Amino acid sequence: MSNFKYDVAVIGLGYVGLPLAIQATSSNLKVYGYDIDENKISNYNLGNSTIEDISDKELEASLEKGLFLSSDPKYLSESETIVISVPTPLTDYQPDLSYVKAAAETIAKNIIKNQIIILESTTYPGTTVEVLIPVIEEISNLKAGVDFFVGYSPERIDPGNDTWNFKNTPKVISGINDESLSKIENFYEQIIDSVVRVSGTKEAEMVKLLENTYRHVNIALINELAILCNMLEIDIWEVVNAAKTKPFGFESFRPGPGVGGHCIPVDPNYLSFKTRQIGKPVRFVELAQEINNSMPSYVVSRLLEKMNLLEKPFKNSNILILGVAYKKDIGDVRESPAIGIIENLFERGVNVKYYDPFVDSLLVNTKYVEKEDSFDNINNYDLVLVHTAHTDFENFDFSKVSVPIFDATGSDHFKNAERI
């Protein structure tokens, strides 16, 4: 029987932390959610979720069930397990672990013996042992693996995915020793359908980087082939659709305007950072980054080409962008290729508006992009760019659209569009 008031504390209540806290609460655990953002905590306590995959109703239900949210770290000492899910952004392509270090310092000032510390934030191999543990040990004078237990478990949140959610997605887990691993496994088995053990924290940290680097590199490959096929006057979509009929040895990837979100454009940089430290650059990763980062400019070049064929000036033209989120059916614009496309168009003197039922406002640099209120106005533009093929767009009758459409998504719905 645990002597702790809370079964788990979650540090960082964003895209990863809040779903974890909600799932743990629904699994009948006593949960304490901690975040330094007092405004966020206030909104959450009023039942206002800012995370798309968590509805206000789900949040309210969890609060009614006992989910406790606060910006006071003193309750960390009353929690048997502490999960760190803070941001790990890139600054000038360098990993910024300041939030992880700050969380470690906060834990160290409140830690008591026999607590379990789990890092979930995406990072480079070695962070748990080389960064997290030393900070906690130095401040607390406790010994990891003896006085408290530590492990790493990569998050696998996929926003907007109705099939694979927090509970049914297998959870990779690790610990710095057998006792840590056993305790971490016992914790996650209470809230996750299946767990996958790996031998150490570096292996677990590498799992997440492999998953997203694999996608990053293959997307870059198909993007480069799309550019090549356009030059050779070959329909890349016909090629892809035919190739994926092979029942073995081929996985289909789709070209697009670039990559976005909180994982694929970011995570491979952690791998590059670590390998450069040992004098072994990952050339595949860096080349993939170069190709995918160039795609917004390539899309703009295709739009310019289209306008030239129409014998219309690009400067002062009016372009509507359908969908600006980084993936369909969500409103998340983090690292969205649409931002780079719009920046480029603004620099060329193009008038840009966007239509996206999931995105209420869009800030590019210091300028808010004007939002088109009605799809009915689509014929008022010189050109339409489909950037994100939201399911909602399938309800629109594109046969009535008289202006040219350039589809950067390859969706089958836009029959009269020129595709990337």
Which of the residues 263, 271, 282, 295 is marked catalytic?
Answer: 263
What was the pLDDT predicted at 284? 87
Total domains in the chain come to 2
Structural domain span for residue 56: 6-198
Neighbours of 61 (CB within 10 A): 15
Which letter, b or e, does each residue of 296-329 get, where b requires 16 or more Cβ atoms within 10 Å of its Cβ?
A: bebbbebbbebbeeeeeebeebebbbbbbbbbbb
Residue 93 lies in a domain: yes
Domain stops at, among 198, 221, 256 = 198
Cα 301 off chain centre by: 27
Residue 76 lies in a domain: yes
Question: Where residue 67 sits, what CATH number does that domain have?
Answer: 3.40.50.720
CB 376 within 8 A of CB 342: no
Residue 222 lies in a domain: no
The half-sphere exposure of 347 on its side-chain side, counting CA atoms within 13 A, is: 10
CA–CA gap between residue 79 and residue 72 (Å, rounded): 13
For residues 251 and 166, membership in a common domain is answered with: no
CB 339 within 8 A of CB 321: no
For residues 66 and 186, membership in a common domain is answered with: yes
82: DSSP letter: E
What was the pLDDT predicted at 1? 52
For residues 192 and 257, membership in a common domain is answered with: no
CB 205 within 8 A of CB 123: yes
Nearest to 40 by CA among 6, 85, 70: 70
What would the pLDDT profile of 178-228 be if each residue is shown by its tens digit?
999 999 999 999 999 999 999 999 999 999 999 999 999 999 999 999 999
For residues 137 and 62, membership in a common domain is answered with: yes
Residue 105 lies in a domain: yes
19 CB-near residues (< 8 Å, 6+ apart): 51, 53, 54, 157, 166
* Structure-block tokens of residue 311: 């014998």
Residue 391 lies in a domain: yes
69: DSSP letter: E
For residues 244 and 160, membership in a common domain is answered with: no
Nearest to 318 by CA among 296, 290, 346: 346
Residue 111 lies in a domain: yes
The two beta strands, 367-368 and 363-364, are antiparallel
CB 324 within 8 A of CB 387: yes
For residues 258 and 166, membership in a common domain is answered with: no
First to last CA, the chain: 60
Q: Which residue has the tokens 């979650």?
A: 10
CA–CA gap between residue 23 and residue 15 (Å, rounded): 13
Low-confidence ranges of the chain (pLDDT < 50): none
Residue 16 lies in a domain: yes
Sign of CA dihedral 373, 376, 377, 381: positive
Domain stops at, among 143, 174, 198 = 198
For residues 71 and 148, membership in a common domain is answered with: yes
For residues 322 and 404, membership in a common domain is answered with: yes
For residues 166 and 260, membership in a common domain is answered with: no
What would the pLDDT profile of 109-155 be if each residue is shown by its tens digit?
999 999 999 999 999 999 999 999 999 999 999 999 999 999 999 99
Residue 107 lies in a domain: yes
Query: Is 263 tagged catalytic?
Result: yes
For residues 150 and 30, membership in a common domain is answered with: yes
CB 133 within 8 A of CB 150: yes
CA–CA gap between residue 327 and residue 320 (Å, rounded): 18
The CA-atom distances, in angstroms, between 303 and each of 78, 173, 312, 357, 376 are: 58, 46, 11, 23, 22
For residues 406 and 284, membership in a common domain is answered with: yes
Three-state secondary structure call for residue 353:
strand
CB 13 within 8 A of CB 35: yes
For residues 40 and 184, membership in a common domain is answered with: yes
Radius of gyration of the chain from its Cα atoms, rounded to whole angstroms: 24
Domain stops at, among 198, 227, 256 = 198
